[in-house]
Amino acid sequence: MIYRFTLISDEVDDFVREIQIDPEATFYDFHEAIVKSVGYTNDQMTSFFICDDDWEKEKEITLEEMDDNPEMDSWVMKDTTISELIEDEKQKLLYVFDYMTERCFFIELSEIITGKEMKGAKCTKKEGDAPKQTIDFEEMAANSGSLDLDENFYGDQDFDLEEFDQEGFDMGGGEGGAASFEEEKF
């Protein structure tokens, strides 16, 4: 049996990768196939998430052991075979490749090929360029055009800019009148 996964990105419209893999391979084998297919370095923290039909995260498979609580189920890529957590076509997964900004690939088990065998994994379709592996926050803000600081940013839709002076301090006077900080003697 062979699993054929399709990977897409919400950052690059024409990006597609298909990876065929032995279901008895580990998530680490799958991780290595993804990294190789997109040309990323293998030095970043990554995780797979098993998702429901609405892409809501259900189970996390981590690159390294993250939780030492024996009462919590935890899965590590090198110790978990794909067939252990995935058995149905159309199963959805996320592969988070940039932990700081939660950037990821959307993955779906597009086909279970019966009657064939393979060892390991291979990329069988490669279209478009992968998004950059990491992106810093300044670059992310520049790409989105702004940080979306609208009137709801402060959590108050009745926010009135005239209530604040140029430095953003309240000029309402409060106790002791409208004395500025320069006038106070320490």
DSSP for 110-156 reads: EEEETT---SSEEEEEEESPPPPS---HHHHHHHHSS----TTTTS-
Sign of the four-CA dihedral 92, 34, 122, 119: negative
Residue 145: the pLDDT is 55
Which residue is it, tokens 């024409």? Answer: 14
Instruction: Name which of 34-38, 123-127, 176-180, 182-186 the model is least confident about.
Output: 176-180
| Residues paired with 105 in a beta bridge | 9, 95
Tell me the average pLDDT across 101-106. Answer: 93
Give tens-digit pLDDT for 24-65. 999 999 999 999 999 999 999 999 999 999 999 999 999 988
How does the average pLDDT of the chain come out, rounded?
82
| Residues paired with 59 in a beta bridge | 50
Residue 101: the pLDDT is 87
C-alpha distances in Å from residue 97, one per residue of 15, 46, 73, 84 = 15, 5, 22, 22
Residue 135: the pLDDT is 79
Residue 125: the pLDDT is 96
Residue 148: the pLDDT is 52
For residue 123, how far is the Cα from the chain centroid?
22
* Cα distance between residue 131 and residue 134, in whole Å: 9
Residue 100: the pLDDT is 85
Confidence band for 11, pLDDT divided at 50, 70 and 90: very high
The radius of gyration of the chain from alpha carbons, rounded to an integer in Å, stands at: 24
Would the pLDDT of 180 be above 70? no
CB of 64 closer than 8 Å to CB of 47: no
* Cα distance between residue 46 and residue 66, in whole Å: 12
Confidence band for 6, pLDDT divided at 50, 70 and 90: very high
Sign of the four-CA dihedral 8, 13, 15, 20: positive
Confidence band for 74, pLDDT divided at 50, 70 and 90: confident
Give tens-digit pLDDT for 128-175. 999 999 877 666 666 655 445 555 555 555 555 565 555 555 555 555
How many degrees, rounded to 5, is the angle at CA 172 between CA 166 and CA 175? 125
Residue 96: the pLDDT is 95
Residue 154 identity: Y
Token output for 20: 């065929």
Residue 173: the pLDDT is 53
Residue 78: the pLDDT is 95
* Cα distance between residue 167 and residue 75, in whole Å: 50
